[in-house]
Chains A and B, each alone.
Chain A
Amino acid sequence: MIDALTGAVADACARHTTDPDTPAELNAPLWEALDQIGVLGLGVDEEKGGSGGGLEELVAVLGVLGENAAAVPFAETGLAAWILAEAGVQVPEGRLTVAVSDGLEVATGTDGTVEVSATLPRVPWGEAAEHVVVLSGTTLAVVARDQYQVTSAQNMAGEPRDTLVLAGARPVGGQTWPVPAGLTQAHEQRLSVLRMAQMAGAARRALDLSVHYASERQQFGRSIDRFQSVQHQLASLASEVLVCRTAAKSASLALTRGDATFALAAARVAAAQAAGVVAKLAHQVHGAIGFTEEHTLRLSTTRLWAWRDENGSVHQHASLVGQQALDAGPDSLWDLLVRA
């Protein structure tokens, strides 16, 4: 089933390539194609309005989208739908995104209508989304696009990370909802897995581009992949891509099996380190051309650089892993590493 799914998504990506010159713009034809394949509700149970499938399927599909630097809010929409399903809130149609805020103000007007206000920075695909799901402490609100103002901004890869201003916005349903216990943390962990899946895909593309370039680029009368120094860089590059993939898959498995706080943080750090090496080696193999706007390598490497520190920096995750190792102490350190 996974192979059929990823095959269909890869097909759609090939038919509707993302324009490298405008990576911040929504790839609407691809979004529609994904809708037709039926993957948009992936990861949410069918009885809750989704199209079923688990995290494993989601990770596989996101790997393909990451590989193709697809300009669609697939991860964000899936994440938002999952949050709403978990909270027992009706999932709206269309593109969604999620914002976590510590300062959502909720007010009740004289006529009894509920209004919410907040400034939400760096929201992925905030402009292209049709609804934003706001998680703020114990309060959850769903706000439609026509209820908030957008200031566009981008991350290092040129992906939309917009500032949303909600000033007395009327939430969907005229109400807010309570956030079930643990959902905010669970959302962060799920987001971590989704981003790692995208990183694994982007890393894979950086490798494929490097292998291809090294086979074509001629120097000293032969292709540069005939030089042992370049071969060894390709080997190290492939090895670190496998680290990225292992991090994503193992983290995904850990999350489906229970308390995954340690595994998730360790995976994030490991994936981030590996992504850094992948980007570095891919650029080294490509020489100067990979460092230009005209080459598509940048679509993969800038994503790796951006994603590894989003939603909790590597510093935070490494610090957490270090603290957990110290808390476990000498007698339980090993158990911390292997605990299922």
Chain B
Amino acid sequence: MDFMNLQAVALPESAEQLRREVRAFLAEELASGRIQMRPDQWLAGWDEEFSKRLGARGWIGMAFPREYGGTEAGALARFVVTEELLAAGAPVAAHWIADRQSGQALMKFGTEEQRQTFLPAIARGECYFAIGMSEPDTGSDLASVRTRATRVEGGWELEGTKIWTSGAHHAHAMIALVRTEPVTERRHAGLSQMIVELPDPSIEIRPIRLLTGEHHFNEVVFNRTFVPDSRVLGQPGSGWMQVTSELGLERSGPERILSTFPLLVEAVRHLSRAGATPDRVRLGELVSRLWVLRQMSLAVAGRIEEGEDPAVAAAIVKDLGTQFEGLLVETTRLLVDIAPDPASEALLPHMLSESLIHSPAFTLRGGTNEILRGIISKAVTAA
């Protein structure tokens, strides 16, 4: 059970200095009213101007080499920046996917031309990506994707439908997992990744509204969509390996713990007021769990910094972290005695409502927790 050997990470002084810079920047953004603290902003907070301001400071593409517009600051520095942004409830959705995984997939598997085209723009906070994995009949069973790519002169033609595609209606590109060879007994073979640039007249993007009416998700339909050879990502047929290496990055980050943290901040504001009678034990239990899960996520970032791919530990962080995000909402309700109210002008009842309504997603997105437990138990019983 190699995943058990996580080591506690002491962040270097340079990372703490970076933290102070990010905080000063965020304090100014919040004070000026340019941004507001809200829960679940890495899904819901699409703010292109904010992304550009972050890009200008070198806080996007921190994992990219300098020649592609990055800062080469590494996984730990990126961890500090992202956790500060999430804790402040800043609107980071626009660049989130591109910075977290698409850009790194391009670094790992992309051609020189692809890197030059996309990475500097991503790092400037100007180029946004969507994930093209799920399909109407393909959720957790990713190898069952049916979007077909057929060989044509100079490239491929795509036919099929992607679903739950966050931000596709704003994004400049999506990396689609498609089938380039017929299904054989080796289900994971014959899959490829392609960079599909958006918008495109052959692609229909239909909104799928959340139960709040918010529009983040889409259904994306390819109608004989042409993808030139120059936009195939990595080796045709290696899609499965490529996509799974992306998932490690997708699962262990602080966004799997902190989606509802702004609600806790508001709850503490409420409980700190004169005359409040807070349940310290219950609050302490919640905060303690958060402390240890953040330590665990940081330890995984430490592994990534060392060049490892801690996939099982990442699955554990996501399973425990996303459960915590829901627990935070439930515990907060018990701590504050305030009814959730989406119409309220006061922040706390509004945030409670917003967090509750977003909470079913926490343990679904990025691989359901049941799938994650399958990955973990496989590693546990193989030992």
CB neighbours of A329 from chain B (8 A):
268-269, 272
**Contact pick for B10, options A239, A246, A267, A340, CB 8 Å:** A340
**Contact pick for A330, options B266, B373, B381, CB 8 Å:** B266
Report the Cα distance A91→B294, complex, angstroms: 39
Closest B residue to A225 using CB positions: B381
Q: Are B383 and A211 in contact (CB under 8 A)?
A: yes
Q: Are A319 and B320 in contact (CB under 8 A)?
A: no
Q: Are A273 and B289 in contact (CB under 8 A)?
A: yes
**Contact pick for A243, options B7, B268, B282, B320, CB 8 Å:** B320
**Contact pick for A270, options B264, B265, B292, B374, CB 8 Å:** B292
Minimum C-beta distance from A277 to chain B (A):
10
Chain A contacts with B in 303-340, Cβ cutoff 8 A: 315, 317-323, 325-326, 328-330, 333-334, 337-338, 340
Closest B residue to A256 using CB positions: B10
Report the Cα distance A318→B370, complex, angstroms: 30
Minimum C-beta distance from A197 to chain B (A):
12
Report the Cα distance A267→B287, complex, angstroms: 10
Q: Are A333 and B265 in contact (CB under 8 A)?
A: yes
Minimum C-beta distance from B197 to chain A (A):
38
Contacts known (A242-B6, A249-B7, A319-B280); A235 close to B377, Cβ less than 8 A: yes
Q: Are B280 and A326 in contact (CB under 8 A)?
A: yes
Contacts known (A204-B4, A239-B320, A334-B87); A326 close to B299, Cβ less than 8 A: no
- Interface presence of A113 (CB below 8 A): no
Contacts known (A235-B377, A329-B268, A333-B265); A266 close to B4, Cβ less than 8 A: no
Minimum C-beta distance from A58 to chain B (A):
14
Q: CB-CB contacts of A249-278 with B at 8 A, as 1s and 0s? A: 110110001000001011111110110000
Q: Are B283 and A322 in contact (CB under 8 A)?
A: yes
Q: Are B269 and A330 in contact (CB under 8 A)?
A: yes
Q: Is the interface of B mostly helix, strand, loop or mixed?
A: helix
Q: Are A269 and B288 in contact (CB under 8 A)?
A: yes
CB neighbours of B1 from chain A (8 A):
238
CB neighbours of A328 from chain B (8 A):
268
Q: Are B282 and A267 in contact (CB under 8 A)?
A: no
Most chain A CB within 10 A, of B272, B376, B377, is at B377
- Interface presence of B155 (CB below 8 A): no
Q: Are B316 and A330 in contact (CB under 8 A)?
A: no
**Contact pick for B292, options A215, A236, A250, A317, CB 8 Å:** A250
Q: Are A269 and B272 in contact (CB under 8 A)?
A: no
- Interface presence of A232 (CB below 8 A): yes
- Interface presence of B364 (CB below 8 A): no
CB neighbours of A274 from chain B (8 A):
292
Q: Are B381 and A232 in contact (CB under 8 A)?
A: no
Q: Are A239 and B289 in contact (CB under 8 A)?
A: no
Report the Cα distance A317→B381, complex, angstroms: 35
Chain B: interface size category: 35 or more
Q: Are A326 and B381 in contact (CB under 8 A)?
A: no
Chain B contacts with A in 313-357, Cβ cutoff 8 A: 313, 316, 319-320
Q: Are B284 and A317 in contact (CB under 8 A)?
A: yes
Minimum C-beta distance from A183 to chain B (A):
25
CB neighbours of B320 from chain A (8 A):
239, 243
Report the Cα distance A109→B62, complex, angstroms: 72
Minimum C-beta distance from B177 to chain A (A):
25
Minimum C-beta distance from B257 to chain A (A):
11
- Interface presence of B380 (CB below 8 A): yes
Report the Cα distance A207→B376, complex, angstroms: 13
Report the Cα distance A270→B296, complex, angstroms: 12
Q: Are B268 and A330 in contact (CB under 8 A)?
A: yes
**Contact pick for A266, options B278, B292, B313, B380, CB 8 Å:** B292
Closest A residue to B376 using CB positions: A235
Q: Are A338 and B83 in contact (CB under 8 A)?
A: yes
Q: CB-CB contacts of B291-302 with A at 8 A, as 1s and 0s? A: 111111001000
Minimum C-beta distance from B31 to chain A (A):
12
Q: Are B313 and A242 in contact (CB under 8 A)?
A: yes
Q: Are A334 and B265 in contact (CB under 8 A)?
A: yes
Report the Cα distance A213→B109, complex, angstroms: 43
**Contact pick for B8, options A232, A249, A330, CB 8 Å:** A249
Q: CB-CB contacts of A217-240 with B at 8 A, as 1s and 0s? A: 000000001001001101111110
Report the Cα distance A273→B4, complex, angstroms: 18
CB neighbours of A270 from chain B (8 A):
288-289, 291-292
- Interface presence of A241 (CB below 8 A): yes
CB neighbours of A72 from chain B (8 A):
none
Report the Cα distance A43→B268, complex, angstroms: 39
- Interface presence of A245 (CB below 8 A): yes
Q: Are A266 and B296 in contact (CB under 8 A)?
A: no
Most chain B CB within 10 A, of A269, A320, A328, is at A269
Minimum C-beta distance from A333 to chain B (A):
5
Q: Are B8 and A252 in contact (CB under 8 A)?
A: yes
CB neighbours of A249 from chain B (8 A):
6-8, 299
- Interface presence of B16 (CB below 8 A): yes
Q: Are B285 and A246 in contact (CB under 8 A)?
A: no
Contacts known (A243-B296, A329-B272, A330-B272); A319 close to B291, Cβ less than 8 A: no
Q: Are A242 and B3 in contact (CB under 8 A)?
A: yes
CB neighbours of A340 from chain B (8 A):
10-11, 16
Contacts known (A242-B316, A269-B288, A322-B279); A337 close to B294, Cβ less than 8 A: yes
Q: Which residues of A contact B (CB under 8 A)?
A: 204, 207, 211, 214-215, 225, 228, 231-232, 234-239, 241-243, 245-247, 249-250, 252-253, 257, 263, 265-271, 273-274, 315, 317-323, 325-326, 328-330, 333-334, 337-338, 340
Q: Told that A238-B379, A323-B280, A330-B266 touch, could you supply 19 new A-B pairs with CB distance under 8 A?
A: A214-B381, A231-B373, A231-B381, A232-B373, A236-B373, A238-B4, A238-B316, A239-B319, A242-B4, A249-B7, A249-B299, A250-B299, A263-B291, A266-B284, A315-B281, A318-B284, A318-B285, A326-B268, A338-B83
Instruction: Please list 28 pairs of residues, one from A and one from B, whose beta carbons are closer than 8 Å in the complex, sorted by A's number.
Output: A204-B4, A231-B377, A234-B380, A236-B319, A236-B373, A238-B1, A238-B379, A239-B316, A242-B4, A242-B296, A243-B293, A245-B4, A249-B7, A249-B8, A249-B299, A269-B284, A271-B292, A317-B284, A318-B281, A318-B285, A321-B280, A321-B283, A321-B287, A326-B278, A329-B269, A337-B291, A340-B10, A340-B16
